[in-house]
Chains A and B, each alone.
Chain A
């Protein structure tokens, strides 16, 4: 198991390294002159030269990259246009987005897995059709529009929930949930739709399997058969799907924060692009990639742990 772990982590690190190169090159490829963005509004050549020198923009690219990477590994992602530490900004904003994402994943999993199991167990009956339709709608709806619609209905018309903003959990737990409820639902809809379909398909396969017949022949209650035997195997299959969907969740957070006016990490990406703030953008995208790769690694490892075939032999059967 140890070697297996090491190989997976190693592969992830290589991917990250290459991704960092991509991020660096990508940021440099953005149109516009960084020197201008960094403060030389008057376009005085001498000032531009000074700025270029200060930010090492006159050095060859590989050297700039190495310098940047070296600092990044130490936790220093440079300073953005407003002379604020990028790393600091990121660190303060990430918890907000993490909280929103965790909330969204929770909602997505509960609704998705729950409705998927229901649909499979009540196959062909109204509950099945309702769940399947809901999943289809959830897949096709542009979630940023869903967000706007929910704001119109729940915040403007019914006035039940606030239209945006963020209140931290420490300050006021109730307000915190009230503010995050709509964004989390919006963000979690896509996940729940995908999970519902996967879960339904997986449960139908499981319920058809020989070992379920054995479980029934043992005289176990129907609850036991569904919950302990069929569901267990299906959940393991679904883990991989969750991992794949997390990327969509991260992208979704970007827009959702924009719509609901939440000053989170996702919003930072948009701001950075709009303001052509390269240092900030580099830092943000790098952190996104790192986060995404590590979350996928974690999901991969969780799956390996849950699947007895892999756990025992250290590789897929």
Chain B
């Protein structure tokens, strides 16, 4: 009677135990925790922008152009009299959205294709390998720029372009993982026991890839954030008057002499946002690596 119960009980606790262990290891790394907190802060900024920003980011005030920091405008105003702080807060939306969604899109494309190619091999694998090679013949940003140009400038298109641009690299990783995992002894044992392909992929291949995929995601997000900034900087992403850190940087260029603040602030935002995800990613990589001891 308690046969089933004890089986269920012992199945839950190893997983819960592991999760607690991982959490403890993570908390022992102050830099990683800092990265997580700052990243969360940016995400919160993006989600609650309307509540957090003191002004409407597109509201012009031609009487207060290029003002320094004052009590009404904590970071000053830009060349069209808009409050910089509000524009930064709203700008987080573009960056976080692009960064996270592009990465998710890239994963959604790359994992199915990569795992299928790596696991089943056959005729699909060489094709996937060749196509990935071809697409990877173009540097990531060039590809993204090209795609964004084709699709037309908008935040959504920039996100798609970044996601598609990041996909080939991830396909390579996913394929590599699937290829090596299928040679593992426990997979062979499962096959010998008559398990079907779907069940093997679901229970053995994918779960053992999650660590690598998580780490890859945390590396791709900052690249996508910077990518969005670049695209907006070039006029291929977010269109004015919608705020985006990249657009702000581009607009700041003529005023470099008079108001360097215009260029400093959005750049710092991009820097800290990207840095926080990098710290988080580094920490996660360390925590998930069975070889590190603490």
Contact = CB atoms under 8 A, between A and B. Distances in A.
A73 interface: no
B233 interface: yes
Given A19-B137, A148-B253, A250-B139, A141 B271 contact: yes
A140 B138 contact: no
Contacts of B274: 139-142
B150 A285 contact: no
Contacts of B275: 136-137, 140
Contacts of A151: 256
B249 A144 contact: yes
A151 B255 CA distance: 12
Nearest to B234: A270
Interface residues of A, number: 43
Contacts of A156: 256-257, 260
A16 interface: yes
Interface stretch (A25-33, A35-43, A54-62, A225-233): A25-33
B81 interface: no
A220 interface: no
B291 to A, nearest CB: 11
Interface stretch (B52-60, B72-80, B262-270): B262-270
Contact of B137 (A16, A141, A274): A16
Interface stretch (A90-98, A165-173, A287-295): A287-295
Contacts of B253: 148, 259
Contact of B138 (A29, A136, A273, A292): A292
A285 B146 contact: yes
Given A15-B130, A144-B249, A292-B137, 9 more contacts: A15-B134, A19-B138, A22-B135, A136-B279, A140-B271, A148-B253, A248-B140, A248-B141, A270-B234
Contacts of A26: 146, 150
Interface in A112-153: 136-137, 139-142, 144-146, 148-149, 151-152
Given A15-B134, A31-B150, A251 B252 contact: no
A282 B234 CA distance: 19
**Dominant secondary structure at the A interface:** helix
B103 interface: no
28 contacts: A15-B133, A19-B134, A30-B149, A139-B274, A140-B271, A140-B274, A140-B278, A141-B274, A142-B226, A142-B229, A142-B271, A148-B252, A148-B256, A148-B263, A156-B256, A156-B260, A247-B138, A247-B140, A248-B140, A248-B141, A251-B139, A251-B142, A255-B230, A255-B234, A259-B253, A269-B145, A273-B146, A292-B139
A29 B150 contact: yes
B222 interface: yes
Interface string B132-168: 0111111111100110011010000000000000000
Contact of B152 (A31, A251, A254): A31
Contact of A18 (B130, B146, B149, B229): B130
Contacts of B152: 31
A6 interface: no
Contacts of A285: 138, 142, 146
A141 B135 CA distance: 26
Interface of B: 130-131, 133-142, 145-146, 149-150, 152, 222, 226, 229-230, 233-236, 249, 252-253, 256-257, 260, 263-264, 266-267, 270-271, 274-275, 278-279, 282
Nearest to A31: B152
A270 B134 CA distance: 22
A46 interface: no
A254 B145 CA distance: 11
B132 to A, nearest CB: 10
Contact of B278 (A29, A139, A145, A250): A139
A148 B271 CA distance: 13
A217 interface: no
A144 B138 contact: no
Nearest to B141: A251
Task: State the 7 A-B residue pairs at the shortest beta-carbon distance, nearest first.
Answer: A145-B267, A251-B141, A247-B139, A140-B275, A140-B274, A18-B134, A251-B139
Given A136-B275, A255-B230, A149 B139 contact: no
Nearest to B256: A152
A14 interface: yes
A17 to B, nearest CB: 9
B139 A273 contact: no
A56 B236 CA distance: 29
Q: Quick one: which of B139, B235, B266 has the most chain A CB within 10 A?
A: B139
B263 A149 contact: yes
Contacts of B260: 152, 156
A145 B249 contact: yes
A189 B253 CA distance: 21
Given A14-B130, A144-B249, A293 B142 contact: no
Given A26-B150, A136-B275, A152-B256, A144 B135 contact: no
Contact of A269 (B135, B142, B229, B279): B142
A273 B145 contact: yes
Contacts of A136: 275, 278-279, 282
A158 to B, nearest CB: 13
Contacts of B136: 247
A50 to B, nearest CB: 27
A11 B275 CA distance: 38
A269 B263 CA distance: 24
Given A15-B130, A31-B152, A136-B279, A145 B271 contact: yes
